Amino acid sequence: MAGYPAWDQDSARMIVAGLAHLEGATLPMLHALQDEFGYVDPQAVPLIAEALNLSRAEVHGAISFYHDFKTAPQPARIVKLCRAEACQALGCESVVDELSRNHGIAVDDHHAGDAIVETVYCLGNCALGPSALVDGELIGRVDAARIAGLCQHGKAHS
């Protein structure tokens, strides 16, 4: 993801060591690594396990349980498309179909390249659905063309 340094094992080791004194340090370590690098590299698992006297399976379990932890560099743009009931009633599923059919964008395909569209359930903008969240900006009444443009171009414009 743009703006993050490349994974560095020595830096990761320093982050882990700096938080090892905390009670229940697994999650703070994972958050700190993701904040620093944009994801938690699988190489962090043995570092954390050793620092906290946990099994690698326990550390991996924490990473896989919490969906916000990413284990690989993320694309430059992630468009979060609401597919909850209110947005379904306002046409989000036809947006998903049109994205696939007319724009070649498969929702929830995390191997798609520089931008991905992923499903979320409720962005709290139900009256203006279908809604999306792009770069921290909530956008209402999105259609497939708008989302496709957001995936191809820089900033989200309301």
CA distance to 88, 94, 104, 149, per residue, from 141 (Å): 12, 13, 21, 14
Report whether pLDDT(23) > 60: yes
Region 59-65 average pLDDT: 96
Question: Distance between CA 45 and CA 58 in Å, rounded?
Answer: 9
Cβ–Cβ under 8 Å, residues 51 and 13? no
Provide the token pair at 64.
Answer: 């896989």
Inter-residue contact 131 to 87 (CB < 8 Å): yes
Residue 77, classified by CB atoms within 10 Å of its CB into exposed (0-12), middle (13-18) or buried (19+), is buried
Q: Look at residue 136 in the predicted model and tell me its pLDDT.
A: 82
Asked if the model's pLDDT at residue 68 lies above 70, the reply is yes
Q: Go through the domains of the chain in sequence order and give each one's CATH number.
A: 9-65 (no CATH), 77-152 (3.40.30.10)
pTM of the predicted structure, to 2 decimals = 0.65
Tens-place pLDDT, residues 89-124:
999 999 999 999 999 999 988 776 788 899 999 999
> What pLDDT does residue 158 have?
38
